[in-house]
C-alpha cells in the first residue's frame, strides 16, 4: 500500500502524508525510499488515477450526503419549532379557557353562597316566628287551663265556648238569647 494523502484541492500528495506520519526524506532508509517512490509511481499510473477518481467520487458522495443530512436536520428542526409554537399557542388558548371557566365557577360559587345565606336567614326568621308562636300557644294553653279551673270551681253548670262557633254567648240554637251562668268566651288568637 502506498502512503499518500489527498490535498484539499483533491490532488494526491505524498509530502503531506509523510509529514503526518512524521517521516521526512532524511529519516527514511534507502530501501524504504525506493518502495515509496515505486508506490507513488503506481498511484500516478492509470490504476492510481482511477483510485484517485474513485476517492474523489466517494468524497463528493460524502459531501452530498452530509449536505442532504444537514438539510434534513434543518427541516426537522424547523418542523419541531413550528410544532412547538403550535403547542404553545394551543396551551395558551386552553389556559385562557380554563381561567374563564374558573372565573365563571367562582362567580357561580359566590352567587350560591349568597343564596345559601339568604335561605339560612329566611329559615332562621321562620324558626324565630315558629318559636314565638309556640311560646304564645303555650301561654294561651296555660291561660285556658287557668280559666277552665276557674270555671270548674265556680259552678257545676257552664262550659268554655269555642271561639270558632257561629253562636254567640248565651244564645240557643235558634239564636235566642239565653242566660247561661258561668259561660266564658275567649277571643280567637289571630
| 61-98 pLDDT per residue, tens | 888 998 999 999 999 999 999 999 999 999 999 999 99
- For residues 43-51, give the mean pLDDT: 64
Average model confidence (pLDDT) for the chain? 74
List b or e across 63-98, with b for residues whose CB sees 16 or more CB atoms inside 10 angstroms: eeeeeeeeeeeeeeeeeeeeeeeeeeeeeeeeeeee
pTM for this prediction: 0.36
Amino acid at each position: 500500500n502506498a502512503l499518500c494523502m489527498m490535498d484539499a484541492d483533491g490532488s494526491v500528495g505524498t509530502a503531506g502524508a509523510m509529514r503526518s506520519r512524521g517521516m521526512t526524506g532524511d529519516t527514511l532508509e534507502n530501501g524504504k525510499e525506493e518502495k515509496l517512490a515505486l508506490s507513488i509511481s503506481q498511484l500516478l499510473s492509470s490504476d492510481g488515477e482511477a483510485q484517485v477518481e474513485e476517492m474523489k467520487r466517494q468524497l463528493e458522495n460524502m459531501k452530498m450526503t452530509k449536505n442532504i443530512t444537514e438539510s434534513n436536520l434543518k427541516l426537522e428542526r424547523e418542523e419541531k419549532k413550528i410544532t412547538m409554537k403550535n403547542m404553545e399557542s394551543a396551551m395558551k388558548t386552553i389556559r385562557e379557557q380554563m381561567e374563564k371557566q374558573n372565573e365563571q365557577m367562582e362567580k357561580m360559587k359566590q352567587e350560591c353562597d349568597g343564596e345559601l345565606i339568604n335561605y339560612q336567614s329566611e329559615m332562621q326568621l321562620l324558626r324565630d316566628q315558629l318559636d314565638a308562636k309556640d311560646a304564645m300557644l303555650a301561654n294561651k294553653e296555660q291561660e285556658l287551663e287557668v280559666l277552665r279551673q276557674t270555671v270548674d270551681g265556680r259552678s257545676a253548670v257552664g262550659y268554655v265556648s269555642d271561639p270558632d262557633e257561629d253562636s254567640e254567648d248565651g244564645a240557643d240554637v235558634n239564636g235566642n238569647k239565653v242566660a247561661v251562668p258561668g259561660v266564658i268566651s275567649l277571643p280567637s288568637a289571630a
